[in-house]
Amino acid sequence: MSDSSTTSTAIPFKAETRQILDILIHSLYTEREIFLRELISNASDALTRLEFEMLTNQDIIDPGAELGIRITYDQNTKTLTVGDNGIGMNESEMRENLGTIAHSGARAFITAAKEIGQSSGNGRLSDIIGQFGVGFYSVFMVAENVRVISRSYRKEDAAAAWVCAGGDTYSIEPAEKSTRGTEIIIQLKEDAVEFAQEYMLRTVITKHSDFVPYPIYIGANQEQVNKRTALWRQNPRQVEKKDYNEFYKQLTLDFDDPLTYTHISADAPVQIYAVLFSPSHPERGMFGIRKEDGLKLYARKILIQDYCKDLLPDYLGFVQGVVDSEDLPLNVSRENVQANTVMARLKKLITSKVIDMFKKLAVEEAENYAKFWLAFGRFIKHGVSVETSEPENLYPLLRFHTTIHPDQWSSLDDYLGRMPERQTAIYYILGDDDHSAVVSPHLDIVRKNGYEVILMTDPLVDPFMLLRLKEYKGKSFQNVAQADLKLPENAESQSSEDTDVHSIPVQDWLPLIDRFKRQLGDQVSDVRMTDRLADSPARLVDASGSPNAEMQRVYRLLKEDFVAPKKILELNPRHPILTKLNSLPDSDERSALAITQLFENTLLIEGLHKDPASMISRINQLIEKALD
Ligand code: ADP
Ligand code: MG
């Protein structure tokens, strides 16, 4: 570095850094204890990075020293010191790491802080602070001034000090330090001297940093404060629910408890310890500390990857937790973890344990399972459409609303259990939402026959899922909108008024069908009568040879310019609208209005109407005529 860096000249912070310091100092007063969590977290990161370095390099300062975090305080001088013997920093690293904030991180933090300020006071700023690489600066909530003395693990690097009083500038100067690591010496503000008390420090450490994987020593006698035992390596029978919940919160900084968790401790087929959690909500967003999907991967207690994405399929990426295996080679590089065959076995095991965890939740805690389903059901459905190895393992997790139980979640087993003996298939209907699906004319015939129909009304995932979900326990899935749907005979429902469409003389309807065809022209591929409708006057069905309804929905999502193939308009000859239309002379202008409106109603119900508001003037005309 240049000469100026070794003499103590004031170096100005960038404007953004200044702004962040302001936010931290002025808006977090009641939560300022979290500064200690941030400093301990940085110390812990520095120790982890050193451990990782030592896998391949022993030629460093103090190679044999026990790794730990040391906290001392002095009430008389009102100082607090947080020290570690981690990786350390040389002068230019200090300038780089403590003097500047990654531009993107700083901006994101300022935006987030503003949003929080606008919504719910500043209560949660403490939750996000670690997320943007600005954690270190939280020390200025309690510090009059700060002196960071650090020495890198590299033998050739000299010690240096970074000094700042929280103003607009900092400085860097040479320093004396013979041991490896970093010491942060805090001159406490008058109103923050409580942080030079042992009781206070212990309370804050147990609350926020209990599971930090290195010993935290405190006070003159250097007693260890934190639990430190890796929770995942303990005997599951000896860990209580509250410990898991606390561990989860320290891992993710989620302020809600997890919905459920599982603790794996196995020797075969692979040696593994793992603790895995389902959050209670999908958004990790602002408040979480985990920046990406993925699990923390340790090999023999050493952190190999912070966000390992190769241990679970993508659709289970919301699962949080820690995995530790003795079977992974220690000197495996972060890059080739992926190629390791142990990884494949770990993934298989973890995936099946996670699915079991959800199955157990469904059986034991229905209410929490409903919460799970609302939060993550889409991921599971997506899993069904993409999982190549044993997707059927996911089927028991699926939940649906149905025509008979529109307000409750039914599993496929619930559905099968309720189905009459004569029923041979699982019926479903596709739609854009439950509300419009239940009024679909396609349901007329199934309803009349007393069959329950599953509502597949998540347009973004259900059509994809159905491309894979073809059968469950020997029963095939059938779309009730299929024109040629065959229903098993139901003797009871054949009431006497039920006349077969074929018994109505065809020629009596031909002129009306013709009128429809002439008027609708190439908007439909055909018009015909059907016996499948009861309460509805008409419906649209796919012409044979068109891609099936699921495929059409998939295309609609994937191809912007997808034009749905023309459909067949089916009419219900028993419906009074049709019988009345049939007896109207062609010349009656109500006829043309009614035909167009009937057709557009069917488009609307299929979610295919491009401009529903355009119907209003026609409807008004019809009302006028009806009132005449
Ligand atoms: P983050 O931890 O998210 O990167 P911080 O503001 O907390 O952001 O810390 C900034 C950087 O300063 C760290 O990334 C690290 O490089 C460096 N740093 C902070 N504390 C230490 C420490 N005790 N030992 C070594 N490096 C540290
Ligand atoms: Mg940090």
In the predicted model, what is the mean pLDDT of residues 276-291? 76
Q: Cα(571)–Cα(533) distance, rounded to whole angstroms?
A: 8
Residues 456 and 400 sit within 8 Å (Cβ to Cβ): yes
Closest ligand, as measured to the CA of 132: 1
pLDDT in the model for residue 3: 45
Output the CA torsion 30→34→39→40 (10° steps): 150
Among 69, 109, 136, say which to mutate for ligand 1: greatest number of ligand atoms within 8 Å of CB.
136
Query: At residue 416, what is the residue type?
Result: L
pLDDT in the model for residue 88: 98
pLDDT in the model for residue 52: 85
Output the CA torsion 571→575→576→580 (10° steps): 30
Give how far Cα 369 sits from Cα of 173, 270, 278, 480, Å.
Answer: 58, 30, 11, 29
Q: Is the model more confident about 583 or about 484?
A: 583
Mean pLDDT score across all residues of the chain? 88
Among 53, 97, 148, say which to mutate for ligand 1: greatest number of ligand atoms within 8 Å of CB.
97
Condensed to tens digits (0 to 9), the pLDDT of residues 398-412 reads 999 999 999 999 999
Which residue puts its alpha carbon closest to atom 4 of ligand 1? 133
3-state secondary structure of 118: helix
pLDDT for 102 beyond 70? no
Lowest mean pLDDT among 190-204, 327-341, 487-501: 487-501
Query: At residue 617, what is the residue type?
Result: S
Give how far Cα 227 sits from Cα of 51, 69, 168, 205, 254, Å.
Answer: 20, 13, 39, 10, 20
How would you class 87 by CB atoms within 10 Å of its CB: exposed for 0-12, middle for 13-18, buried for 19 or more? Answer: buried
Q: Cα(100)–Cα(98) distance, rounded to whole angstroms?
A: 6
Residue 134 beta carbon below 6 angstroms from any ligand 1 atom: yes
H-assigned helices in 168-278: 198-209, 241-252
Which residue puts its alpha carbon closest to atom 17 of ligand 1? 97
Q: What are the residues whose beta carbons fall under 8 Å from the beta carbon of 275, sequence distance 6 or more?
A: 231, 232, 244, 247, 261, 262, 263, 264, 321, 322
Q: Cα(306)–Cα(291) distance, rounded to whole angstroms?
A: 10
CA of 133 to the centre of ligand 2 (A): 6
In the predicted model, what is the mean pLDDT of residues 333-360? 85
Q: How confident is the model at residue 483 (pLDDT cuts 50, 70, 90)?
A: confident
Lowest mean pLDDT among 338-352, 480-494, 522-536, 552-566: 480-494
Closest ligand, as measured to the CA of 105: 1
Which residue puts its alpha carbon closest to atom 9 of ligand 1? 136
pLDDT for 501 beyond 50? no
pLDDT in the model for residue 491: 52
Residue 182 beta carbon below 6 angstroms from any ligand 1 atom: yes
Lowest mean pLDDT among 146-155, 192-201, 276-285: 276-285
Which residue puts its alpha carbon closest to atom 19 of ligand 1? 42
Residue 20 beta carbon below 6 angstroms from any ligand 1 atom: no
Q: Is the model more confident about 501 or about 436?
A: 436
pLDDT in the model for residue 495: 46
CA of 210 to the centre of ligand 1 (A): 20
Q: Cα 483 to the chain's mean position, in Å?
A: 38
Residue 97 beta carbon below 6 angstroms from any ligand 1 atom: yes
Q: How confident is the model at residue 94 (pLDDT cuts 50, 70, 90)?
A: very high
Q: At what angle do helices 616-627 and 589-605 cross, to 10 degrees?
A: 130
Residue 68 beta carbon below 6 angstroms from any ligand 1 atom: no
CA of 4 to the centre of ligand 1 (A): 23
Residue owning tokens 């693990």: 153
Condensed to tens digits (0 to 9), the pLDDT of residues 121-166 reads 444 566 666 556 678 988 999 999 999 999 999 999 999 999 999 8
Which residue puts its alpha carbon closest to atom 11 of ligand 1? 97
Which residue puts its alpha carbon closest to atom 8 of ligand 1? 133
Q: Is the model more confident about 411 or about 336?
A: 411
Which residue puts its alpha carbon closest to atom 13 of ligand 1? 97
Task: Please name each of the domains of the chain with its CATH number.
Answer: 9-224 (3.30.565.10), 231-371 (3.30.230.80), 390-495 (3.40.50.11260), 500-627 (1.20.120.790)
Residue 40 beta carbon below 6 angstroms from any ligand 1 atom: no
pLDDT in the model for residue 122: 42
Residue 86 beta carbon below 6 angstroms from any ligand 1 atom: yes
Residues 149 and 177 sit within 8 Å (Cβ to Cβ): yes
Lowest mean pLDDT among 18-32, 195-209, 270-284, 514-528: 18-32
- What are the residues facing 181 on neighbouring strands? 151
